[in-house]
Amino acid sequence: MPLPDTMFCAQQIHIPPELPDILKQFTKAAIRTQPADVLQWSAGYFSALSRGDPLPVKDRIEMPVATQKTDTGLTQGLLKVLHKQCRHKKFVDLADLEKKWKNLCLPVEKFRDLVQLESGENEIEWLKFLALGCSALGGSLNTAMKHLCEILTTDPEGGPARIPFDTFSYVYRYLAGLDPDTHKSETESYLTTLKENVQSRKNGMIGLSDFFFPKRKI
């Protein structure tokens, strides 16, 4: 025999008091992030929320980078999201990083192309992966370093985007070393000159207005 229809009244349906705010914050996050696959991104969002991890949410809506040769969906904003999720570790597990990448609805083929540029079977240094991601946005070494500064800085948006010179020089050497046409002596000469200018301020920080160099492809 078919089961009788169950009647519910308002008193029988319990709605957690925090649910409306959770859904409101989720909706606002989805609007800011504009994920290509809402279901995939939502799974990553609520998984991170349940663990108390940084959420895969952009700070603001942004347009794709015009310098990309092919539109992979990767943007500075998405790299910044990954940085918030991974910056607490010097080395990150590749499987976990790939999962975070997928949750942002980015093509896994692009992820694997990037990690092939850096040796390591199960993990990768986070700062180097971030540098590779900045270079993947297209343009010159200048452009990649600009993205890096804007992601790493603690300055307000639209400010000088300052980061420690030691961090800047480490990433600059790494990316310049990937270009077979760039000589090490040229890189070191440039960084030495730049360091002298930075040291005159005695804060060890470098901003967007401090560095200018040839637009090398990477």
| Residue 8 counted as domain residue | no
User: How does the average pLDDT of the chain come out, rounded?
Assistant: 88
Taking the model in full, what pTM does it have? 0.84
Query: Residue 181 and residue 16: Cα distance in Å, rounded?
Result: 61
| Residue 122 counted as domain residue | yes
- Give how many domains the chain has, as a whole number: 1
CB-based burial, 132-144: b 16+ in 10 Å, e otherwise = bbbbbbbbbbebb
| Residue 5 counted as domain residue | no
- Mode of pairing for the β-strands spanning 123-125 and 205-206: unpaired
Query: Residue 36 and residue 54: Cα distance in Å, rounded?
Result: 20
| Residue 2 counted as domain residue | no
At 64 the pLDDT is 56
Give the pLDDT confidence of 114-155 residue by residue, as tens digits: 999 886 789 999 999 999 999 999 888 989 999 999 999 999
| Residue 16 counted as domain residue | no
Which residue range is the domain that position 129 belongs to? 22-206
Query: Residue 203 and residue 199: Cα distance in Å, rounded?
Result: 7
Please state the φ and ψ torsions of residue 67, each to the nearest 5 degrees: -80, -10
Give the pLDDT confidence of 152-183 residue by residue, as tens digits: 999 998 899 999 999 999 999 999 999 988 89
| Residue 148 counted as domain residue | yes
Q: At 212, is the pLDDT very low, low, confident or very high (cuts 50, 70, 90)?
A: low
| Residue 1 counted as domain residue | no
